[in-house]
Structure 1
């Protein structure tokens, strides 16, 4: 039988990390509802669902640690039997991770137009869900710390499938976004920021799942794997909220580049108009194509596509003003300069 430190120490630290991440989740949830009030209703319901489940999860983790450390302190049974609410932990994690993985699979489907990739991710997510529920059932049946190695098979099904889904989501998003680089600052800066955020948020959940598997398999008679396990659900929820909330910064970034480009284009057009009017001569109409280049249009279209419903803009009720699309057409500016000949001077002659 391992020491108390190796049993309840990792579980207590994992609970502390869970509570810290819950505080971050509260801030992110508040920011989301204050900033994106026009998002699709089902997205708002998903965020609300995650917040409720995570609140219940935090309360269960605190109660889980209260039972052996306070309620049954000093009793031999506390070191032999799993805490009562510990059985709910795997089910809660997959109840959070599965809809989030479905959500990212949906985004990948819209971005890549590939049903196969989205279907494969969803399949791994469903397998992870089944493994988590299977683990919960066995924990409720076994109850004893000494039988923890018997949880290896369902835990491996749960963790490995979730890890594969997380890695696939990250890799597919990074490759798809990298292929959309155009060489323009507005597009590349936005894509670069999305890629960094995808790697930072997506890979961290995969790393925690891998750490959970490694510690679970190599140290079966300890609770060191709960250093990773108890924080997993909060990492998934914070990953989704940080992705949704990042849209505001990305829109400001692309808006800044667009404004700078418009200022430069306006100055160039005015100079072109002045030069052309001087070269055309007196009284000649001058036609100037004051349009933006097709590459500029493609750059902005790419940014709009990435920030659009395919990836980051989920406001499906937004009304679009089609008149603004006319700005991308060709504008003909006619500059006409006329000069009036001076009246001839009449000279009087004297004879």
Structure 2
């Protein structure tokens, strides 16, 4: 139910993106958002089939959790894989932001290597669970820990680097207006990163602490929607920030076209 709610929020986010900010983005970014939305649609379809088979079609039948030939077992492979793909797409987007802001490729490369590893582990967990049964997914200790722990680590690195860079630029800013805008960016970065980090960390904590239970499925099923909503919220926030600015230049577009925020600060000052 949380997944359905987050998917509804994502539709609203896509609506605002389509009519408010889409025209100012390059073609590759519009395609990126379209692929992300399509991935979430497929993920919701697969999740719906899985939950229908377990909680409706075979309600009260515990053997469905051990079956490897059921439709639920076959669709289970797609849920972690799609979740890993969406998380990696989000990490790649924010890694690109870091590269544009700092001009460095080292940290984005590290983040992407970790993220690709987590994506591979997510796909392996899904395929493996489809062969051994849903209930035995808890046997994949190392794989699940690498998957969820790696996603959490990526989120922490991304948020730390972005906040540090924005704080540095905020100290250099001379006008109150520029500092106020950067403050909004810092708050947005912390909030979105906090949501994704806590969701992945909550799933990992349930997996470790309640090892013989499947409670970690609850945050796991909505993990990809959390990443998608945070990414779209970041893109849509440009409209709000542009309304705050006295200049007509889009804030994040200027950030995209320069390796530092120096030219941006000069523009607004």
TM range (shorter): 0.7 to 0.9
Structure 1 residue 75, shift from structure 2 partner: 3.0
1:61 aligns with 2:47: yes
- Structure 1, unpaired ranges of 5+: 1-15, 260-303, 314-324, 329-351
1:233 aligns with 2:233: no
Structure 1 residue 140, shift from structure 2 partner: 1.6
- Between 1:34-43 and 1:100-109, the stretch displaced more is 34-43
Structure 1 residue 25, shift from structure 2 partner: 0.4
Q: Distance in 2 between matches of 1:222 and 1:91?
A: 21
- Radius of gyration: which is bigger? 1
The structure where helix makes up a greater share of residues is 2
Superposed CA deviations along residues 160-183 of structure 1, whole A, max 9, x for unmatched, are 111111111101000000001124
Residues 164-203 of structure 1 aligned to structure 2 (within 5 Å): 164-181=153-170, 182-203=173-194
**For residue 261 of structure 2, what is the aligned residue in structure 1?**
none
The one of 130, 137, 141 equivalent to 1:148 is 137
Residues 18-97 of structure 1 aligned to structure 2 (within 5 Å): 18-36=3-21, 37-81=23-67, 83-84=72-73, 85-97=75-87
1:100 aligns with 2:85: no
Structure 1 residue 309, shift from structure 2 partner: 4.2
1:127 aligns with 2:117: yes
Structure 1 residue 105, shift from structure 2 partner: 0.5
Q: Distance in 2 between matches of 1:119 and 1:306?
A: 25
The one of 227, 235, 253 equivalent to 1:308 is 253
Given that residues 247 and 312 in structure 1 are in contact (C-alpha distance below 8 angstroms), is that contact kept between their aligned partners in structure 2?
A: no
Superposed CA deviations along residues 129-149 of structure 1, whole A, max 9, x for unmatched, are 11111111211221151x233
Q: Distance in 2 between matches of 1:202 and 1:232?
A: 13
TM-score under structure 1 normalisation?
Answer: 0.68
Q: Distance in 2 between matches of 1:131 and 1:308?
A: 34
Structure 1 residue 312, shift from structure 2 partner: 9.4
1:250 aligns with 2:241: yes
Q: Distance in 2 between matches of 1:122 and 1:79?
A: 34
Change (3 A) 1:105 1:78: same
Superposed CA deviations along residues 311-336 of structure 1, whole A, max 9, x for unmatched, are 599xxxxxxxxxxx9xx9xxxxxxxx
Q: Distance in 2 between matches of 1:125 and 1:312?
A: 25
Partner SS for 2:129:
helix
What CA RMSD, in Å, does the superposition of the two structures yield over aligned residues? Answer: 2.2
Change (3 A) 1:211 1:70: same
Q: Distance in 1 between matches of 2:113 and 2:66?
A: 37
Structure 1 residue 30, shift from structure 2 partner: 1.1
Given that residues 77 and 123 in structure 2 are in contact (C-alpha distance below 8 angstroms), is that contact kept between their aligned partners in structure 1?
A: no
Q: Distance in 2 between matches of 1:183 and 1:207?
A: 35
Structure 1 residue 210, shift from structure 2 partner: 0.9
